Amino acid sequence: MMAGLQRGSPAIIMCDIIRPMRRRTLWIGLGATVLVLGLASAGVKRYQEHVERQPDWQIHHTALPEAASKVDGVVSQFGRDHVSKAEDYLHTAGQHAGVQVLSITGETHWQTGVTLVLRVTGHGQARGFDGVVLQEADVPICFRLQMGPDEDSRDDDIDCPAGEPLPVTKDPSLVGVDERLQSALSLVEPDEAAVRAAIAGMDLDPAIQQSFAAKDGVVGVALRASQYDCVVARVAAPDDVTLWHPSHTQLAPGELSCTGGLALSSEFKTNPH
């Protein structure tokens, strides 16, 4: 079709005009693409340099969720244990790994309210743009808990006050004691002196409270590590030893006592109300 057209005809003139326009449009499009990619690349580079120059900010920022989760556990424990006095808040909070109490004010939840400042360890990381870990560390992050008197509140990631944490005595633990207790008591007669000697041979943490009772040829023994950590054993004969861990509810103040006498009572191995 083009072969029949004469140079200078309107069709040829239009083709001569359109071809350069298409080339210009193509080059303009390519130039715009290169510009956008260049700006994006420069932006990515600047962001990467910004991130990699501030590892401390990254580490702190990424450590915060872990630290906050630990505080969630502390607050949940307050509710579970029905804590209301300042000394009990201090003791309960101080039992949690990675949690320190920097200050505490007030007396009780229902009167003055109790304010605690906690320093909590969280693990954070600083990563490059490609996801590679550049630095990582455990960092302290502080929280303020206001417990009562009208309502509870919490402030996360506050400035940490200066000073050492308040001293808190750590509770002992009964973890791993059951098997040793069962084995030791299965070798003795239901005689209080023999049971006491068997318990002494276990070389338990001195902070674990021990209680013994005997009645009608049966010996009861209780080991208590804390308010809610208790094991009770009834020794009726050699190889006739029954262990029982009362529930958290049953060990609440005003409920069952963790004593050797509990092993000899009708409440031994009962279900919580």
Match 């920097």 to its residue by tokens: 102
Other C-beta atoms within 10 Å of 240: how many? 12
In the prediction, which pLDDT does 5 show? 47
10 Å CB burial of residue 220 (0-12, 13-18, 19+) is: buried
Distance (Å, whole) CA 17 – CA 24: 11
**pLDDT for the residue 34:** 47
d(CA 191, CA 213): 10
pLDDT grade for 263, boundaries at 50, 70 and 90: very high
List CB contacts of 253: < 8 A, sequence separation 6 or more: 82, 227
Of all residues in the chain, what percent are helix, strand and coil, respectively (each to 5)?
40, 25, 35
C-alpha 37, offset from chain centre: 44
Q: Is the pLDDT of residue 15 over 70?
A: no
Q: Summarize the confidence of residues 174-199 as an average pLDDT.
A: 96
**Percent of the chain beyond pLDDT 70?**
80
Cα–Cα separations (whole angstroms), residue 273 to 40, 227, 254, 255: 65, 18, 13, 11
Give the residue from 198, 220, 219, 208 showing the smallest Cα distance to 170. 208
Per-residue model confidence as pLDDT tens digits over 62-72: 999 999 999 99
Strand intervals (E) in the chain: 99-106, 114-127, 133-147, 153-158, 209-215, 218-226, 229-237, 240-244
The pLDDT value given to residue 28? 53
Taking 50 as the threshold, does the pLDDT of residue 229 lie above it?
A: yes
Ordered strands of the 218-226 beta sheet: 209-215, 218-226, 229-237, 240-244
* Terminal-to-terminal C-alpha distance of the chain: 100
Of 148, 135, 252, 237, the closest CA to residue 195 belongs to: 237
Query: Mean pLDDT for the chain?
Result: 87
Q: Tokens 């059951």 appear where?
A: 178
129 confidence band (pLDDT: 50, 70, 90): confident
Place of tokens 């939840």: 109
How far apart, in whole angstroms, are the C-alpha atoms of residue 44 and residue 132?
16
Q: Name residue, tokens 């990675």.
A: 98
Torsion of Cα atoms, 138 then 158 then 92 then 245, to 10°: -60
Rounded Cα distance between 233 and 219, Å, is: 8
Dmax over CA atoms of the chain, in Å, equals: 129
**What pLDDT score does 79 carry?**
93
